[in-house]
Structure formats: C-alpha cells, structure tokens
Amino acid sequence: MDIGNADSWGAAIYFWLIPLVLADAVFPLVPSEMVVITGGALSADGRASVFLVGLVAAISSWVGDVVVFQLFKRRLSHVLDRWPWGRKLHQGMHRAIEKAGRSSTYGAIIGVRFIPGGRLATSAAAGIADVTTRSFNLCAGIGAVLWAAWLVGLGYFTGTATGLPFWASSLIGVAVGLVIGAIVGMIATRRRGSRSPVEEPETDPSPS
C-alpha cells in the first residue's frame, strides 16, 4: 500500500476503520480518531463515501463500547489477570479510567468519549455501576453516531476548505481535534473524581 496515494487509502480506509476503532475502546492510544478524520478527508477528495465512513466508524465504536461495558458489568475483568499481557492491559485500563474520571451518567456515556480515554472510562464505569444494558446501548449508540459524525465532518471540512492532499488535511483535522478535545477534557474532568471505579474490593483474610 502506497501511504501517499489517495487511491490506495480510499480502497483500504474501511478495513482500517473497523479494527482500529474497536481496539480504541480498550487501548486509548490507538489512533482511531486520526483514521476516522482521514476517512473524512478522503471523502472530501472523492476517494471514499462520507456516509459509509461515518457508518463504519459509528458501528465499530458502539460494538467496542458494548464489549468493554459487558466485560465489567459481568465482573470478567479479572480474567485478564491470568496472562502477563492481560495484567498490563488491566493496569492500562485503570490508568485511563483514573485520568478520564469515573462518571457513569448517561450524559457522560455520550459525551466523555470526546476526550482521550473517555470511551474506556465511561464504558467500564457504567458496567461497574450496573447501568442497565438497554440504557447503555442506547447512550453508547447516540455517542458513537455523534463521535463519528464529528470526526468525519472535521476531516471532510478541512479537506474541502484547504484543498490540500488528503494526508495534509488529515493532519490539520487531527490538530484541531486535539485542541478541542483538550479543552473539552479540562472542562469535563475539572470536578470529577480521579479514583478508579474498577478497583477490586479488599478481601478479608480473617475466617468467617
């Protein structure tokens, strides 16, 4: 694949979207936002379908959130501790949740995904807080659509407004998204607790 060739990216963007957006639900450092913005920029260049890019991104985001939610709702996160890579992943989840906060309200499920680590934090917190599956699925779906529309629209707008190659428009879109995300993050986390909601309760060593 020629990374500088718009035709190559236009044909492959949908296949990049699915695994990266899914993985971003668990690994916040995965650059899913950049790929979605790139899809928007390619759409502005006529190399991809803006509707299809948004649809694939939204569905992948929703599925990833539901997987994390169910993992914590069913108290299965301890399964990760059976393997060294799983323990590292579990610790990374704690760090992301502590950084993004611990709100499990419906508004947070929809809105906190726009800050780094927000998807993981709210999905895990909602699972621990026993938010109903139906309510979470609905809020996560709304949030996924808004998240995808924002990022695709950002890429499409920068691509249309600048007229630059898709990769340059993507970089501009990512820079704008990071600045806005940082502002939103400072506002959203200013009054929120930092203690992880997924800390395991201490077991009483004394006999019952």
Report pLDDT for 114.
Answer: 80
> Using CA of residue 28, residue 29, residue 30, residue 31, what is the dihedral sign?
positive
Report pLDDT for 63.
Answer: 96
Overall size of the chain counted in residues: 208
- Residues of the chain with confidence (pLDDT) below 50: 1-3, 191-208
pTM score, two decimals?
Answer: 0.75
Q: List, for residues 148-164, the tens digit of each pLDDT value.
A: 999 999 989 988 887 77
Can you tell me the distance from the alpha carbon of 126 to that of 168, in angstroms, rounded to the nearest whole number? 37
3-state secondary structure of 190: coil
Alpha-carbon distance values, 22 to 31, 160, 192, 202 (Å) = 11, 28, 26, 32
Q: List, for residues 71-95, the tens digit of each pLDDT value.
A: 888 876 666 667 676 666 666 666 6
Report pLDDT for 77.
Answer: 64
Please count the helices (runs of H) and the strands (runs of E) in the chain.
8, 0
